[in-house]
Chains A and B, each alone.
Chain A
Amino acid sequence: MDFYLACIMWAVLGTLVAALISCFLPGLHVYNVMGFVVLLYLPMMDVIEPFHMLMFLAGMVTGFGILFTISTIYYSAPDDTTAFYFMPGQKYLMDGRGHEAAMITGIGALIGIFTLVSILPFSMGFLALLRELVSPHTHWIIGSILAFLLISEWPREYGRSKIQLFNISKEHRAQLDKGEIPDVIIKGLADRKRKLGDAKVTKPRSHEWEIKDGRRTYIVHEISAKGAEPGYEFMVLCVLPGWKRIAEAYKSKAAGWLTFGLASWLGMLIFYKTIVPVDRAFQTLMPVFVGLFAVSAIILALISKVKIPPQHLSKSTDIKGVRIAQGGGSGFLSGIFAAFVPAVTPGVSGALGGNATGIRDDKVFIMSMGTNRVVYYVGALALFLLPLLHLRRGGMAINVNLFFVPQTLEQYLLITAAIAICGFIAFIILIYASKFVAKLVERVTYQTLNLFVLVLIFSIIFLMTGIQGIALMLVATAIGLVPVMWNSRRLNLLAVILVPIWLNMAGIGSDIASLLGLV
């Protein structure tokens, strides 16, 4: 067979494998699958041409980049890159628009591939220069991202500056109007260990009286006639002091910081003292990511007992050209940033890109993440193969480097052609796969489906990393549930990879590991 044709065939085969795994084995991360493929391939290097294997992997990574949206939207099983559009994706699914979300992601991915293929070959010199300039400063760039993650999460405030203490009946109105404090209020407060001192009653609002005793302010609130129950017409409230309001609001932010701290600790643990057996240590990150993002999301789906409504297979995504440009542009810049800077994954870069370009619309965000993750995965491969650059980032380059050293521009252009073809094929598969799975989730109970996925994930993790991997996954799951339960940012979970790499780049990783008792 013609060499070039064979190359394309291998790439397409890779895409088909990625399609099967994405649709039927949710929860598997592309780099873990790739690790196993390379492990199986190494003894067969004489049988299969290394460049053909590279083509297979390129097809697979392109396919994953586009088709993993199926797992994320329909099976609640996101990975570290899709977890951040999982929420809007789920929203679409619950509105019966899962297919629309999948298509928007797919369009974003196609934009990513088109931009990558058309821009990168002309950027070799610029990117080489950029690497030379930025490399010595990577440590503070990652540090800056961490600092931004920590300070930029807003505390969740639901507006309460008063807490309800108890209710009383309207028969006390006359006393309040006279400026007297009814005994029932004094007793009610005493029961709650709040002793009223020399207090005064005022009526600053038509529906409320204020009782001030110098230390605290209590409010007697008249409930509207429609909402009041007989005998419980007035509500006694206590005005919270400012610091208490801050403390209340910061509960969610504290949960975010706790998540960040725990994820950092877990990251240091797996970097310095992983419990996964040595022969499978290259899969250490798999149980961690699956636990943090997929299992926690599945548990949430199981607990919430949601029902998937009938899915509407829309023929249009109803998105304006300017929004496509905004989503695609933001996604491309975010993705290439993630592919270029170590430790930065599409989750983080997508959030930064969203901030940088002022994205607010769900559709634009979903689209930008579709572009972002494809550019990240495929871009990592392209940057590795790009002449003058050969940038080694992420699992892709590490795995490929085991059997292939990039050399010529022709190789790069051939890979680029394969990526373009595979991207197109993957998008076509996505259309039909999404329609198929949309029908499937209507017929099967969502809980059953999630339970099936959970069992599948446990089996895969057990097979790949043993019982130690399961233990690691459970710890990661517990950490992954913190932001879900306390409504804080899931982005903090990415400290699992960002913090150890930042500390190591800043030259203090081993000191901190020693402080944590890990070395």
Chain B
Amino acid sequence: MKGFTHFLTGIAIATCFGIAVRDSFENMSQIIILGGIFGYLPDFLDFQVSRFLEDFDYEVDPTLEKTIDPQGIANMFVEAIHHARDTGKKTSIKFNTMKLGADTWRQYGIMVDAEKKRIVVKIGPLVTTGKTALPGTEPPLKEAVGIAYYDADLIHTYDAWTWADIMSGPDYSIIPEDDGRLRLDFIAWHRRWSHSITAGLAFAPLGLLLYVALNSAFAGRFVFDAQMAIIAFMICLYGYWIHVIVDQFGIMGSNLFPPFTKQRSKGLSLFHSGLSIANFGTNWISVSVILYNLNYWAYEPVFTTDPLKYFGLTTAIPLAVLVSIYMAYNRWERKGKEKAGETDDEAAFLEKMDEMQEFGSGSNV
């Protein structure tokens, strides 16, 4: 899911705590914000912390080479695959980007062709930070493509291009499996430990400390209210957990109980985390929950507090209509076209790509 969606679900969870809602309008408390912050935290930990701590065994860095050599890049990827095969150890490779000016980058693409056991690298045009290609900047075709063949059984059914262009580039981990095959994992550092129930338990006390510190700072003296402190802890914990839970509806899933579990479990595959309608629908539900809670905990409610009637009218019916329109549109758009045969791996890959391209995170908005 998008960052904002997680933030809003965290806020929605926080409003379930009546004491927090009442403290907000009686004492101008900002405690509900903690839910949003902790709802966002797992992605913060991955995309704003973990990714920088990752060490890669191989790094493609075209800026070191002055000229970008597609064959060299393909060779390096194959070398990394063979390294994983020969050593039996996880081997990671990072494809750094090539910044050429304030708003200019050189694009290059990598394709793992598992069927023909080859890596294809293609140098693309110069692109702006908004990924608009600058016409006439593509290298001649004979200099643009590099192909290298590998000798291993690679588990990778997704043969579309991965592009390294702006900001940070993509990375792969090549993980040897027990049966001797190699599994290719895109951005393996994502949802490795951060999106877990145990991490929620570990980080929630920090939220409690943050709450006490901010409360004391604004009051100008040390303030500790045990009841509110517990509420703050619960808001942080549930805010964090709701992120983990919501992400399980997607394809990728996460490693739910590290250090007791080591691998990501699969999600329910109900939708892509980057899908517009999924994000919009989740936000709609969050807003409905927030409004219901604000009304429910108000001393003088302004509308009915019958949850069935409320959520039926404000959430179930509108979303059912929206989803029906969406599905009808999709069916109409696909009419006459071959149905896209998206495998689980492809879907998981797309989900990761979506999360790598958070709106407003990589552009100067």
Enumerate chain A interface residues (CB-CB to B < 8 A). Answer: 84, 87-88, 91, 95, 129-130, 132-134, 136-137, 139-140, 143-144, 147-148, 151-162, 164, 204-207, 221, 223-224, 226-227, 235, 237, 239, 242, 245-246, 249, 253, 304, 322, 326, 351-352, 354-360, 362, 483-484, 487-491, 505-508, 511
- Return chain A residues, CB-CB under 8 Å to B222: none
In whole Å, how far is A260's beta carbon from the nearest beta carbon of chain B? 14
20 pairs of residues in contact across A and B, judged by CB atoms under 8 Å = A91-B130, A130-B291, A133-B291, A134-B294, A147-B33, A147-B36, A148-B3, A148-B7, A152-B358, A153-B360, A157-B168, A206-B79, A235-B64, A237-B64, A246-B49, A355-B5, A357-B279, A358-B276, A362-B132, A489-B360
Q: How far is the CA of A161 from the CA of B96 in the complex (A)?
A: 10
For the complex of A and B, list the 4 residue pairs with the smallest distance between their C-beta atoms, beginning with the closest: A355-B4, A159-B96, A358-B276, A227-B66
Q: Is the CB of B69 within 8 A of A224?
A: yes
Cβ < 8 Å to A, chain B residues 79-109:
79, 83, 94, 96-97, 99, 102
Given A155, A159, A227, A357, which contacts B65 in the complex, CB threshold below 8 Å?
A227
Q: Is the CB of A226 within 8 A of B218?
A: no
- Return chain A residues, CB-CB under 8 Å to B55: 161, 239, 242
Given B94, B357, B365, which contacts A491 in the complex, CB threshold below 8 Å?
B365
Q: Is the CB of B360 within 8 A of A133?
A: no
- Return chain A residues, CB-CB under 8 Å to B224: none
* Number of B positions contacting A (CB below 8 A): 75
Judge whether B52 is part of the interface by a CB distance below 8 angstroms. Answer: yes
In whole Å, how far is A506's beta carbon from the nearest beta carbon of chain B? 5
- Return chain A residues, CB-CB under 8 Å to B44: 151
Stretch at the interface among B22-30, B113-121, B226-234, B343-351: B22-30
- Return chain B residues, CB-CB under 8 Å to A129: 302-303
- Return chain A residues, CB-CB under 8 Å to B64: 164, 221, 223, 235, 237
Given B2, B32, B362, which contacts A358 in the complex, CB threshold below 8 Å?
B2
Q: How far is the CA of A205 from the CA of B96 in the complex (A)?
A: 17
Q: How far is the CA of A134 from the CA of B25 in the complex (A)?
A: 10
Given B48, B102, B279, B298, which contacts A154 in the complex, CB threshold below 8 Å?
B48
In whole Å, how far is B351's beta carbon from the nearest beta carbon of chain A? 12
Q: How far is the CA of A357 from the CA of B329 in the complex (A)?
A: 17
Cβ < 8 Å to A, chain B residues 294-312:
294-295, 298, 302-303
Closest A residue to B53 by beta carbon equals A242
In whole Å, how far is B357's beta carbon from the nearest beta carbon of chain A? 6
- Return chain A residues, CB-CB under 8 Å to B3: 148, 152, 355
Cβ < 8 Å to A, chain B residues 97-148:
97, 99, 102, 128, 130, 132
Q: Is the CB of B4 within 8 A of A158?
A: no
Given A160, A304, A352, A489, which contacts B61 in the complex, CB threshold below 8 Å?
A160
Q: How far is the CA of A157 from the CA of B96 in the complex (A)?
A: 10
Q: Is the CB of A360 within 8 A of B357?
A: yes
Q: Is the CB of A506 within 8 A of B28?
A: yes
Q: Is the CB of B37 within 8 A of A242?
A: no
- Return chain A residues, CB-CB under 8 Å to B364: 87, 483-484, 487-490
Extra 11 A-B pairs, beta carbons < 8 Å, given A133-B303, A157-B167: A139-B24, A140-B33, A154-B358, A158-B167, A161-B55, A223-B64, A235-B64, A242-B52, A352-B4, A356-B283, A489-B364
Judge whether B186 is part of the interface by a CB distance below 8 angstroms. Answer: no
Q: How far is the CA of A95 from the CA of B360 in the complex (A)?
A: 22
- Return chain A residues, CB-CB under 8 Å to B132: 91, 95, 362
- Return chain B residues, CB-CB under 8 Å to A132: 302
Judge whether B275 is part of the interface by a CB distance below 8 angstroms. Answer: yes
A357 and B280 contact, Cβ closer than 8 Å, known pairs A95-B132, A159-B169, A223-B65: yes
Q: How far is the CA of A245 from the CA of B44 in the complex (A)?
A: 16
Q: How far is the CA of A246 from the CA of B65 in the complex (A)?
A: 25
- Return chain A residues, CB-CB under 8 Å to B294: 133-134, 137
Q: Is the CB of B128 within 8 A of A249?
A: no
Q: Is the CB of B275 within 8 A of A358?
A: yes
Q: Is the CB of B97 within 8 A of A159?
A: yes
Q: Is the CB of B361 within 8 A of A508?
A: no
Cβ < 8 Å to A, chain B residues 25-79:
25, 28-30, 32-33, 36-37, 40, 44, 47-49, 51-53, 55-59, 61, 64-67, 69, 72, 76, 79
In whole Å, how far is B185's beta carbon from the nearest beta carbon of chain A? 18
Q: Is the CB of A355 within 8 A of B360?
A: yes
Enumerate chain B interface residues (CB-CB to A < 8 A). Answer: 2-5, 7-8, 11, 21, 24-25, 28-30, 32-33, 36-37, 40, 44, 47-49, 51-53, 55-59, 61, 64-67, 69, 72, 76, 79, 83, 94, 96-97, 99, 102, 128, 130, 132, 167-169, 218, 220, 274-276, 279-280, 283, 291, 294-295, 298, 302-303, 329, 357-365
- Return chain A residues, CB-CB under 8 Å to B280: 356-358
- Return chain A residues, CB-CB under 8 Å to B362: 154
- Return chain A residues, CB-CB under 8 Å to B52: 155, 157, 242, 245-246, 249
In whole Å, how far is B25's beta carbon from the nearest beta carbon of chain A? 4
Q: How far is the CA of A132 from the CA of B298 in the complex (A)?
A: 11
Closest B residue to A155 by beta carbon equals B48
Q: Is the CB of B67 within 8 A of A226?
A: yes
Q: How far is the CA of A95 from the CA of B133 in the complex (A)?
A: 10
Q: Is the CB of B130 within 8 A of A157?
A: no
Q: How far is the CA of A224 from the CA of B52 in the complex (A)?
A: 27
- Return chain A residues, CB-CB under 8 Å to B298: 133
Q: Is the CB of A351 within 8 A of B218?
A: no
Q: Is the CB of A154 within 8 A of B361?
A: yes
Q: Is the CB of B302 within 8 A of A133?
A: yes
Q: How far is the CA of A304 from the CA of B24 in the complex (A)?
A: 48
Q: Is the CB of A355 within 8 A of B53?
A: no
Q: Is the CB of A224 within 8 A of B2?
A: no
- Return chain A residues, CB-CB under 8 Å to B274: 358
- Return chain B residues, CB-CB under 8 Å to A139: 24, 28, 30
- Return chain B residues, CB-CB under 8 Å to A242: 52-53, 55
Q: Is the CB of B128 within 8 A of A158?
A: no
Q: How far is the CA of A448 from the CA of B61 in the complex (A)?
A: 40
Closest A residue to B283 by beta carbon equals A356
A152 and B79 contact, Cβ closer than 8 Å, known pairs A87-B365, A158-B97, A162-B59: no
In whole Å, how far is B267's beta carbon from the nearest beta carbon of chain A? 18
A87 and B130 contact, Cβ closer than 8 Å, known pairs A159-B96, A159-B97, A246-B49: yes
In whole Å, how far is A154's beta carbon from the nearest beta carbon of chain B? 4
A159 and B279 contact, Cβ closer than 8 Å, known pairs A152-B4, A356-B5: no
Q: How far is the CA of A145 from the CA of B357 in the complex (A)?
A: 21
Closest A residue to B102 by beta carbon equals A304
Max count, chain A CB within 10 A of own CB: residue among B57, B220, B280, B357: B280
- Return chain A residues, CB-CB under 8 Å to B7: 144, 148, 152
Max count, chain A CB within 10 A of own CB: residue among B48, B51, B303: B48
Max count, chain B CB within 10 A of own CB: residue among A130, A132, A147, A304: A147
In whole Å, how far is B363's beta carbon from the nearest beta carbon of chain A? 7
A156 and B167 contact, Cβ closer than 8 Å, known pairs A144-B33, A151-B37, A358-B275: yes
